[in-house]
Amino acid sequence: MRQFRVRVTAGAKNDYIERVSEDMFKISVKTKAKKGFANRRVRELIAQHMDVPTKDVLLVRGSDTRSKMIIIYNSIK
């Protein structure tokens, strides 16, 4: 299990993920922050970046804010 802090910008021009440090990401998503769609896209981007299934990426804090806490349950490659 790994824990990451994430800073999200919703409604951006492009989807983008940047690993700022060992435990922090900056992510921009094109999806608007409505009905959890941006959070879902954040989980998908992190899953792709870390090469794990999306179901193993959980949002544990910050569902309504730009600053989030993500936990990944799986072995990270």
Number of domains in the chain: 1
Q: Is residue 29 part of a domain?
A: yes
Q: Is residue 77 part of a domain?
A: no
Question: What is the C-alpha separation between 33 and 44, in angstroms, rounded?
Answer: 15
Q: Is residue 40 part of a domain?
A: yes
Question: What is the C-alpha separation between 36 and 34, in angstroms, rounded?
Answer: 6
Q: Is residue 23 part of a domain?
A: yes
At 21-62, the pLDDT tens digits run: 999 999 999 999 999 999 999 999 999 999 999 999 999 999
Looking up residue 39, the CATH number of its domain turns out to be: 3.30.1200.10
Model pTM score: 0.91
Q: State the pLDDT at residue 74.
A: 74
Q: Is residue 62 part of a domain?
A: yes
The H-assigned helical ranges of 1-77 are 37-50
Residue 39 lies in domain: 2-72
Q: Are the C-beta atoms of 11 and 32 separated by less than 8 Å?
A: yes
Q: Is residue 49 part of a domain?
A: yes
